[in-house]
Amino acid sequence: MFVGHYGPAFAAKAASKSIPLWVVFVAVQLVDVWWAVFVLLGIEKVRIVPGITATNPLDLYYMPYTHSLVGAVLWSTAAGFIYYLVRRVDGSLAALIVGAAVFSHWVLDLLVHRPDLPLYDDTFKVGLGLWNYPVPAFLLELAVLFGGMYLYLKATEPVSRAGRYGMVIFGIAMAAVQWIAFFGPPPVSDKAAAITALVFYGVFAGVVHWLEKQRIPRASRPLNA
């Protein structure tokens, strides 16, 4: 899963006004951020194998540190703990939400991956394989993304024209990126796949950081407005 991971980020922001939206945007992709870094360092391994699934050419044959169930629990716990240390004023609930956002990545990956997600180390690999069904997989990505965005938009209101239309336009652009990822040409190499992922994660977090400033929580609306 790619853009669908951002649905839980929007839902997390709707549940906790204090958490910056860009933080949960990074959180839901944190294991993939480290996956990309580890691929570039040669610590985790991936091959480009067109046709290995109907939508994704990545043979993710060795990623025990980022995408194992044990690894996901550890990354989630660490992220929640660090968030609590840095922004203790937000409280323990916000830290738990950040940790849950990180763990949501593994749960959603379980739905779409072929059996390449290890439960621990590099063993007992699982995955329900929705990537082999392009239309349902694409629709699931959009449903999760826009479902979370709907919750966020319901919990906030615009303070500018960009705030009124920007997030929806951003969502449509993300859906277009997902379409290209599913149906476009495969990456030219494992390193190219990792670099492309990092670029998109950074751009998405940066864009949503700006767009968040164009909306405010509904409860914050002045009484005389």
Report, as an integer, the average pLDDT of 126-132.
97
Following DSSP, what letter does each residue of 64-119 receive, concatenated? TTTSSHHHHHHHHHHHHHHHHHH-GGG-HHHHHHHHHHHHHHHHHHHHHS-S-EEE
pLDDT tens, position by position, 174-218 = 999 999 999 999 999 999 999 999 999 999 999 999 999 999 998
| pTM passes above 0.95 | no
pLDDT at 103 over 60: yes
* pLDDT classification of 170: cutoffs 50, 70, 90: very high
Average pLDDT, stretch 92-115?
Answer: 97
